Amino acid sequence: MRIDKYLWSTRYFKTRNMGTIACKKGQVKINGKIAKPGREVYHLDEITVRRNQINYQLVVLDIPKSRVGAKLVDIYRKDVTPKEAFEHDKLVQYSKNQYRQKGEGRPTKKDRRDITEYVENPFEDSEEE
């Protein structure tokens, strides 16, 4: 089975075309080598897929005949992605939310003025005391 079709049938990509594009961008590797979309997948191949800033690592257990249900995906692959990859993603998301919460939009004029003042005079407040 082709790698793009395998990733689609095991529900790593919503469409087969998305799997093909990921392969063309070099985000899919089989046994450490970048895979073209037409590369065949065999039993016990190790696949690395980069999605959402995380490198998912999979081991092929079996080849499905067509797209499978979400509950049956574990029959065809074993996910060996280290937990550190998911923890790193959580830290990145947390640091993004630290400055401005999602949905607050662009900085206001007052925010921009405060930022500009701080950048131009970072130690002005501590000298006055």
pLDDT tens-place string over residues 83-105: 888 888 777 777 665 666 666 77
Instruction: Collect the ranges in the chain with pLDDT lower than 70.
Output: 95-103, 122-129
Give CA–CA dist 101/107, Å, rounded: 11
- Asked whether 28 and 47 are in contact (CB, 8 A), the reply is yes
What pLDDT was estimated at residue 36? 94
- Domain hosting 90: range is 83-129
Instruction: Check whether residue 4 and residue 18 sit in a common domain.
Output: yes
Spatial distance between the Cα atoms of 41 and 31, rounded to a whole number of angstroms = 10
The residues, ordered by sequence, that sit 6+ positions from 107 with a Cβ below 8 Å of its Cβ are: 100, 115
pTM of the model: 0.69
Could you tell me if 89 and 71 lie in one domain?
no
Q: What is the pLDDT of residue 84?
A: 86
**In a shared domain, residues 62 and 123:** no
Within its chain, how far is the Cα of 52 from the centroid? 2
